[in-house]
Structure formats: structure tokens, C-alpha cells
Amino acid sequence: MPPRRALAAGWLALGLFLLSACQPELSASGVLVSVEATGLTDVQAVTLRTDDGQERRFVVSGEAARTGHPPSAGHLRLHMTQGDRVTIRYRETRDGPLAHEVVDG
């Protein structure tokens, strides 16, 4: 393959890879109905009831613990018992929605 073609093919492959790796950020708001945790700070998953009544389970990524407001199990359970609204920012993965941020309100 001539060098120019190889370079063009490499750029095309890189562009396609980056395009497929970029997933849009999604969000859902509602009230928490379940918090799954193994300790005070280690939250594995939450279930959210959205405004239209649907319940969705979100696995909470380690990235969520590094955001501006880390979701502790106690804090999220407080929102759950008081019926406070939260917003979950997430990405769809082949294993289901993966939450990378949980925000009050």
C-alpha cells in the first residue's frame, strides 16, 4: 500500500474509532426507590422512578465518586426516604445504563 493510502486509512480508522467511542451523555430525573451498597460510601446501583412512572436501575460507576458531589449510600438513602428528586447522568452500555453522576434536585 502506498504511504499516502496507508496514512489515509490510518486516519479513517482513528476517526471511526473515536466516533464509536463517543457516546452521548443522557440524563434521567425522578425519585430513588432503591440504593444498593456494600458500605457507607460504596454504592453499586440505584433504581430511579422517573416522572412517567418507569423504574430504571443504574449501575453507579467509580467515576461518580470523583464528581463534585460523590454519592454516598447514606446521602442517597436520605433522598430516597424523603422523596427528594435526583438527576442521574449516565451512558448506555451493552450491560445497561451506567451512571457517572448523581445530582441533587
Domain that holds residue 75: 24-104
Tell me the per-residue pLDDT of 13-35, one tens digit each, with 9 for 90 and over.
Answer: 544 444 445 567 899 999 999 99
* Predicted TM-score of the model (pTM): 0.75
The domain that contains 59 carries what CATH number?
2.40.50.140
Percent of the chain residues past pLDDT 90, beyond the cut: 59
Please name the residue that has the C-alpha cell 423504574: 55
Q: Is residue 18, in this structure, part of any structural domain at all? A: no
Q: How many domains does the chain have?
A: 1
